[in-house]
Structures are given as structure tokens and as C-alpha cells.
Amino acid sequence: MTKRVVLAYSGGLDTSVAVHWLQAQLGYEVIAVAVDVGQGADLEAVRERALGTGAVEAVVIDAREELARDFAVPALQANALYESRYPLVSALSRPVIVRHLVAEARRHGATAVAHGCTGKGNDQVRFEVGTRALAPDLDIVAPVRVWGMSREDAIAYAERHGVPITASREKIYSIDENLWGRAIECGIIEDPWATPPEDVYARTLETAAGPVEVTIGFEAGVPVSLDGKQLDIVSLVGQLDALVGSTGFGRIDIVENRRVGIKSREVYEAPAALALVLAHQDLEGLTLERDVAHEKLRLEPRWAELVYDGLWYSPLREALSAFIASTQRHVTGEVRLRFSPGGGCSVVGRRSPVGLYDYGLATYDAADAFNHEDAEGFVRIFGLGITTWAARQGAAGGGGAGAAGGEHA
């Protein structure tokens, strides 16, 4: 009986060689699945390349809207920044791809899925844990992790076996891209002291003549408009990315902690993602009740960590997402951002029809509606526990908190 495997196919060197290797070494028929998540590649050419490598079938799936709606928006509502900086660019696209790999495996009667990840990276975790969560019966094959070939070896293998590739031995950087951003690795970037050269960047080239100001509109935590114009989420992200990226905004240079235990120097470009998170955080400051806002802030890093670690299809991520979704009902309004040449950005205005800011309570001018006399009793009761403790310390000869502690450091 012929075995079939569904391969997550990018059209690059490793997955092209993997098609031939899976056939020659393991006896699989290969169904190549290329998922469009906004990487900007010519996926029809990718499909033809997959067939040219020997895949029995090549499937191309447009998942841009799916990525934006079902993955990027929940990440935005969670203000998800892994280690407070990285907006989960690659981590968000992997569960989308996994969903389609499993679906195609079922459709084609495959018994396994395969990916082109190495043993060092996070993506192997995301692909494999995600697949096992959705289809624990499927086998998982990781050719790059087991074949022991260097990049030069893989190129030589392709040349020896007539595998059509576009890679060259001079390729410097490894790049992963989707509509939420762009990740760059390898080359000089692997030295954490080295300044990334300008040629690694594509989305944050400073071309704007001066400052750029944009107004982003949200409805229930979902971005819906740009400068008053209603847009679908894919179009909004694309237009915002180009607009604010032209000021140089959106670059991230970080040494991050991979799930596998390695510290890795990473460079990212995510102009729209970072701008949207900044705007969304600010609008929540206007619209969320204090305790809800504080608890959400406490849970956001955990949500980001789960997704980074490949646990999108986990009960904890789903539970946290349910809480986060419930907080978004009134996150409606507009936020105005100002971008300065050189990559600077600041919030310069916000407004909401359901905002909790009350001018009469906040102002100190003649319109002040706050009853200041009420504060005396509130402050006295709020501090009653500390007052009682301090009095007991004094009665015991401790002389108060400072004296009792004996030092302030």
C-alpha cells in the first residue's frame, strides 16, 4: 500500500529537497501544501516547482484573511508581545498552516505530515505539537532534522538528483514573512554585537518626507478603519504596514529565549503589528474598568508565551482567549498615532463613545464635579490596616516601619 505524506511546502531549498528525499528514502507519495499567509511569494510558481520536484499533487491555499481574522486579531486583543517586544510574527502563522496540513492529510488519505524545520528552532515545536493536538493519529516526519545535510550539501543533493531550486550558495539570510511581519536570521545577525546591515530590511525603509499621522478605528477590539476609511483587516494591515514603515518604524532587534533553550539574536520588521498593539493598548486604557485592565495586563504575557511555545491548540490558551474576548466588548473608539522619521511613534489622541474618562471628575478647573470631602473617609479606611500596624509597632518600641526594619535598602 502506498504511503502518503502532506508536506508544508515553502518552495525553498529544504522543502524542495525534502520532496525528493521523502520519496527516495522513506517511500512516500508527497502532497505539497503551500499556504499563503501574506509572504508575497508567487504561489503559482511555488506550486509548479513542487510538481517539478516530484510531488504527486501540489495544493495552494490562500489563508491571509484566516490568519488576520482568527489569529492576528486575537493576538492584538491580547496585546501579545513575547518577552515584551516580539509580536509573534512566525508563531501566529504556524497554527494556520497546521490546520490546513491536517485538513489536506484527511482529504488525501495521508498517514503523516512533514515540515522543513531544523532541530534548533521554535517552528518544529509549533508544527508538531499543533498537529498532535488536532490529529494525534498522524505521524510526523522532519527530514531536515534527520538527514544531516548542510546548506551546501542540500544544494549539491538537488543538483545531483535534478531537483529544481532557486537557492544559491551565496544566500546570506533566512527570512520568514507574513502579513503580520518579517523575521530575519543568519549571516552577520548571528553576532549579537554586530549592527544589522540596512540590506536586511524591506518593510521599514525610511522614505517618508516627514512625520506621518494616522487614526486607527476599533470596534469591539477589532481594527476596522484607517483615517476614517472602513477597511477589511487584511487591507488595513497592509496599508498601515506600508504607511508607518515608511518612517522607519517597526524594527525589533532582540536576543530572545527560544523554546528549545537557546538564546537567539533575531531581527524583525512589524510596522503594522506594533502600531496596532500600541493603539489598542491605549484605547483599552480609556475603555476598560480598572480591575479588568489590571488582570488582563497580568495574563497577556502568559498568552504570548503559550503561542510562542506552539500551544495555540491548548486548553489554557483557549481559556485565556475566552477571558480576553470578554474584555473587548467595549474597546471601541479611535486612536491617533504620530510617527516621526527615524522610527519614533507616540499616541497623540484617543476618543471613544463608551470611554470611562469623565472630564467633570478628572478636571481641576471650575467644572470639577468631584466631591473632595469624600476622599478623607476613603483614604482613612484604605490606610486603616497600615495605620493599625504602625501603631502596634510604635507601642512595641519599634518606632514604625523604618525603625523596625532597621534599614531601607
Can you give the length of the chain in residues?
409
Those residues whose C-beta lies under 8 Å from the C-beta of residue 60, and which sit 6 or more positions away, are 34, 36, 43, 44, 46, 47
Cα separation, 242 vs 362, in Å, equals: 38
Q: In this structure, are strands 212-219 and 112-114 parallel, antiparallel, or unpaired?
A: unpaired
One DSSP character per residue, 75-134 reads HHHTT--BTTTB--HHHHHHHHHHHHHHHHHHHHT-SEEE----SSSSHHHHHHHHHHHH
The residues annotated with a catalytic role in the active site are 14, 94, 123, 174
Q: Are 216 and 225 in contact (CB under 8 A)?
A: yes
169-170-175 Cα angle (round to 5)? 100
Terminal Cα-to-Cα distance of the chain (whole angstroms): 73
Residue 285 vs residues 172, 278, 290, 307: alpha-carbon distances, Å: 43, 11, 9, 24
- Enter the C-alpha cell of residue 207: 522614505
Beta carbons within 8 Å of 219's beta carbon, 6+ residues apart: 332
Measured between alpha carbons, how far is residue 249 from residues 207, 209, 372 in Å?
A: 11, 14, 44
